[in-house]
Structure 1
Amino acid sequence: MYYNTNILKSTDGESICYYRWQANPDVPFKGIVQIAHGLGEHAGRYNHIAHLLQEEGYSVYANDHRAHGKTAEIKRLFGYYDGKEYFDDCIADMYALTNLMRAENPNSKFILFGHSMGSLLSRKYVIKYGKELDALILSGTASFIKVLGTIGLVTASTVKTFKGRERGNAFLKDFFFGEFNKKFKPNRTKLDWISTDEAQVDLFEKDPYRTEDFSLGVFLDIIKNSKKVNSPEAFKATPKELPILMFSGDKDPVGEMGKGVTRVAKQYEKYGISDFTFKLYKGGRHEMLNEINAEAVEQEIISWLNQRI
């Protein structure tokens, strides 16, 4: 085990569980990396890349978002969210962790790493706090998926009117996760879309912290914020001097099989990010850190980071 876990209190008093991987004291210290995980997973799944970063001289922190992982376990309410704006609450939690990280590692370089939903959270985070960052890494991010997003937004808004934000919704769960998996029929599992590495797919399928049943408010706020972070205003508000590494698989349905994530890359370039790197891996699906070529991907991330930090 390379990490320990602890609890922090967010701005509204909510208890948030976070992981900490302390940098190897035998190598020169380089900085701190904060990881924002994706929908339905948890921070513990990033143990391998966090350990590699440890050995490179980085301390790594990651919290389980609300309704996820060990944060949800505190109240035994997996997937449940009764707040008003999921992304705003998650970003407040992330910033509370940022402040804790800085208190424990003063005057350090600071890198934010976001995957999938965590990448959308990170893209919104940098609009508000980007001047405090030294680098941003985005994995498996997305453009606003017009057909899927529009149908989902209309459906979620309609259901919310009658049932409220706190209730779960089987249709939306199946609609989102099922639509992604349809790209890989005939399906071996419900999670074929995440990786071509069957061992990794099976591992996640058995993960006791994997969650699919979320309150309606979670789905609704993800769709709304996906639209917001892909607006011209969001790209304009991203600090131009912030180094950004963005990577995805060209068979990732979240990135519209390379097309959507390429649109995001073009927007960052259009709005003048001075140090922008985009990697689209051939044959890769949603989780490049769990793909068959994960080792090469990890080394490219570390190389990119070391060149800038």
Structure 2
Amino acid sequence: MISTEFKLTMRDGHESRIFKWEPESENKIIGIIQLVHGSCEHSKRYEHFADFLTQNGFLVYSSDLRGHGQSVECKDDLGYFSENNGWSMVVEDIYELTKYIKEQHKELKLVMLGHSMGSFLARHYSSIHGEELDGLIVTGTAHNPRIITKFGKFLAERDIKKNGARNRNMTLNSMSYDSFSNQFKPIRTKQDWLSRDESIVDKYRSDELCGFVFTSSAFRDMFDGLLFITDRKNISSTPKNLPILILSGEKDPVGSNGKMVKRAYKEYKNAGIINVQMKLYKDMRHEILNEIGKEEVYQDILTWIKNI
């Protein structure tokens, strides 16, 4: 595949690093995938998946989200979106990339794939910009209980008042990310929840652009996003004819081992979405695109995209 990188300027002047992967022959391009990565990681972790997609005729775009990867000016900006309205700004950054893609490729179908926090962003996006998409795929997602989300937001806002928006919130990090591996015994690392593939976990741990702690404002912003996507009015704003595919590992703690994934599926069905499908993968953990047996996930995604 051919890999290129460039910067795209957002409405507020922020520059996002964009990654583009394409088949070596333009004659093979049959569609576009816009990837939205998760929290505390970056786009280049999806290069292997992008290689699979390009081999099957797809053009792939992904941006390092605000506060992530190569879209930060310095390491202190990792895990920080903005002083205020950070979540909405990230959603609109994703929309700016969509507009750029459509200007370059007016004739091709566009499918968005969001993983983990990226799935939350993609679900928010589909509520307000869903008409831009021909399909939506979410992996490692959840429908989080609103009362717990509101409590998390309260803790984040309290810390912002006390220590400032850029303070690294170790309390919320311990309650969320650091606790995810507790269900796996024995625990080798705090990141065991990501994948059964130890090489993937070790590579993540050694990557200086992965595994950082969110600022209190970023936690607040993410909780704002979770409250938005679990509001039934917003779910109902998703275009009824938008095909949606929900994929997760049966042992993914983010989705409560499938429980909160099934809830997300049910909410879309109740909202009248015509074509929504769900699949849980046996024994797989959070990063199903980086799991042992990921080839099955890749093939399922490819088959679904070709059939929408």
- Pairwise same-fold verdict (TM > 0.5): yes
Pair 1:75 & 2:77 matched: no
SS of equivalent residue, structure 1 residue 161: helix
Following TM superposition, by how much is the alpha carbon of 1:40 offset from its aligned partner in structure 2, in angstroms?
A: 0.4
What residue identity is the alignment partner of 2:233? E
* C-alpha contact 1:24 1:57 (8 A) present in aligned 2: no
| Counterparts of 1:125 and 1:18, CA distance in 2 | 18
- 2:275 equivalent in structure 1: 275
Unaligned runs of 5+ in 2: none
Q: Which moved more, 1:98-107 or 1:76-85?
A: 76-85
| Counterparts of 2:223 and 2:212, CA distance in 1 | 16
* C-alpha contact 1:69 1:209 (8 A) present in aligned 2: yes
Following TM superposition, by how much is the alpha carbon of 1:289 offset from its aligned partner in structure 2, in angstroms?
A: 0.6
Task: Quickly say closer, same or farther: Cα 1:249–1:304, change in 2 above 3 A.
Answer: same
| Counterparts of 1:103 and 1:295, CA distance in 2 | 32
| Counterparts of 1:130 and 1:225, CA distance in 2 | 16
What residue identity is the alignment partner of 1:128? I
Following TM superposition, by how much is the alpha carbon of 1:147 offset from its aligned partner in structure 2, in angstroms?
A: 6.7
TM-score by length of 2: 0.95
- 2:171 equivalent in structure 1: 171
SS of equivalent residue, structure 1 residue 97: helix
| Counterparts of 2:109 and 2:183, CA distance in 1 | 40
- 2:63 equivalent in structure 1: 63
**How far does the alpha carbon of each residue in 1:103-136 deviate from its partner, in whole angstroms, 9 at most, with x for none?**
2212221111100000000001011110111010
Q: Which moved more, 1:220-229 or 1:62-71?
A: 220-229
**How far does the alpha carbon of each residue in 1:56-83 deviate from its partner, in whole angstroms, 9 at most, with x for none?**
11110000011110112x3343223333
What residue identity is the alignment partner of 1:295? E
Pair 1:288 & 2:288 matched: yes
* C-alpha contact 1:2 1:51 (8 A) present in aligned 2: no
SS of equivalent residue, structure 1 residue 193: coil
| Counterparts of 1:52 and 1:294, CA distance in 2 | 11
Pair 1:44 & 2:25 matched: no
| Counterparts of 2:49 and 2:218, CA distance in 1 | 27
| Counterparts of 2:250 and 2:195, CA distance in 1 | 12
Q: How does 1:1-309 map to 2 (within 5 A)?
A: 2-25=2-25, 27-72=27-72, 74-76=73-75, 77-145=77-145, 148-308=148-308
Following TM superposition, by how much is the alpha carbon of 1:2 offset from its aligned partner in structure 2, in angstroms?
A: 4.3
Following TM superposition, by how much is the alpha carbon of 1:149 offset from its aligned partner in structure 2, in angstroms?
A: 2.8
Task: Quickly say closer, same or farther: Cα 1:149–1:182, change in 2 above 3 A.
Answer: farther
What residue identity is the alignment partner of 1:178? D
Following TM superposition, by how much is the alpha carbon of 1:212 offset from its aligned partner in structure 2, in angstroms?
A: 2.0
Following TM superposition, by how much is the alpha carbon of 1:144 offset from its aligned partner in structure 2, in angstroms?
A: 1.3
SS of equivalent residue, structure 1 residue 196: coil
* C-alpha contact 1:67 1:78 (8 A) present in aligned 2: yes
| Counterparts of 1:38 and 1:277, CA distance in 2 | 21
* C-alpha contact 1:243 1:275 (8 A) present in aligned 2: yes
| Counterparts of 2:148 and 2:196, CA distance in 1 | 23
Following TM superposition, by how much is the alpha carbon of 1:7 offset from its aligned partner in structure 2, in angstroms?
A: 0.6
* C-alpha contact 2:2 2:23 (8 A) present in aligned 1: no
* C-alpha contact 1:33 1:60 (8 A) present in aligned 2: yes
Task: Quickly say closer, same or farther: Cα 1:26–1:237, change in 2 above 3 A.
Answer: closer
* C-alpha contact 1:139 1:246 (8 A) present in aligned 2: yes
Following TM superposition, by how much is the alpha carbon of 1:282 offset from its aligned partner in structure 2, in angstroms?
A: 1.4
Identity %, equivalent residues: 36
* C-alpha contact 1:23 1:60 (8 A) present in aligned 2: no
SS of equivalent residue, structure 2 residue 18: strand
* C-alpha contact 1:27 1:56 (8 A) present in aligned 2: no
What residue identity is the alignment partner of 1:283? D
Following TM superposition, by how much is the alpha carbon of 1:183 offset from its aligned partner in structure 2, in angstroms?
A: 1.7
Task: Quickly say closer, same or farther: Cα 1:205–1:270, change in 2 above 3 A.
Answer: same
**How many residues align structurally?**
307
Following TM superposition, by how much is the alpha carbon of 1:185 offset from its aligned partner in structure 2, in angstroms?
A: 3.6
SS of equivalent residue, structure 1 residue 254: helix
